[in-house]
Amino acid sequence: MGEAPARPHFEERPTEPVVPDAWRLGAIPAVLGLASGALGWGLASLVFWGLTLFTIAFFRNPNRTIPGDDRTVVAPADGRVIEVGEIEEPDGSKALRIGIFLSVFNVHVNRMPLAGRVESIDREGAKYLAAFDRRAEGENVRCSLTMRTDAGERFRVVQITGLIARRIVTHPQVGEWVARGERYGLIRFGSRTDVVLPVAASARVKPGERVRGGSTILAEMPGAES
């Protein structure tokens, strides 16, 4: 018998300390700040330089130490937990959903909560409601990655736009293996990220708690299925 084919592994990105989008978007207020200063418009110059610094800070991308083992689910994003509860999937099965709201002051780089292979990538929705609005989870522009672990369990991680957010970046491709805690995309600017796990998973956070992408434990997976 021949060897099993190598499993394509996703190359983590973005990995720069500041996501490159910052320099392109930050250049606009920076130029306006310079122009305002040259014209003697002191207050306007300060405002534009403030926007420049905000843009750079928004796209910061810190390294994180990933806790636990392969049964430990880590936060996919920085922010505040707004939902922890059981939901009904379209096929009638039950699942555990944990929703995280990201304000414009949070790190917006997304991390994979659990290692798995990308089974499908689904882009849906058309609206841009506030990310904390309950309707946003089903109506806003969003990108859902359906993943399968080595143990055969399916889970999803869903990037959802918000009132200000207008762009979702998702780098993995179907068939690629993404390691737990790896950075795989981002949303700009305000947004929400959900993790949908098997209903037997045990949540380790509650609504209102603050979490950090890749370093906060969200849940523990149940035992491997036979």
DSSP per position, 3-40: PPPPPPB------SSB-THHHHHHHHHHHHHHHHHHTT
C-alpha 13/C-alpha 150 separation (Å) is 22
Give pLDDT, residue 6.
Answer: 64
Q: Per-residue pLDDT for 42 more than 60? A: yes
Give pLDDT, residue 165.
Answer: 64
Q: Which of 135, 113, 105 is nearest to 179 (CA)?
A: 113
Show the tokens assigned to 120. Answer: 């499908």
Band of residue 226 on the pLDDT scale cut at 50, 70, 90:
very low
Backbone angles phi, psi at 44, to 5 degrees: -60, -40
Q: Per-residue pLDDT for 57 more than 70? A: yes
pLDDT in tens, 163-187: 776 789 999 999 999 999 999 999 8
DSSP code, position 200: T
Q: Per-residue pLDDT for 118 more than 80? A: yes
Q: Residue type at 95?
A: A
Give pLDDT, residue 225.
Answer: 43
One of 2.30.29, 1.10.3470, 1.20.58, 2.70.70 is the CATH number of 72-219, namely 2.70.70
Show the tokens assigned to 36. Answer: 């305002």
Residues labelled catalytic: 191
Give pLDDT, residue 1.
Answer: 46
Q: Which residue has the higher pLDDT, 21 or 5?
A: 21
Domain boundaries along the sequence of the chain = 21-58, 72-219
- Average of pLDDT values for 82-97? 91
Report the percent of the chain where pLDDT is more than 90.
Answer: 72
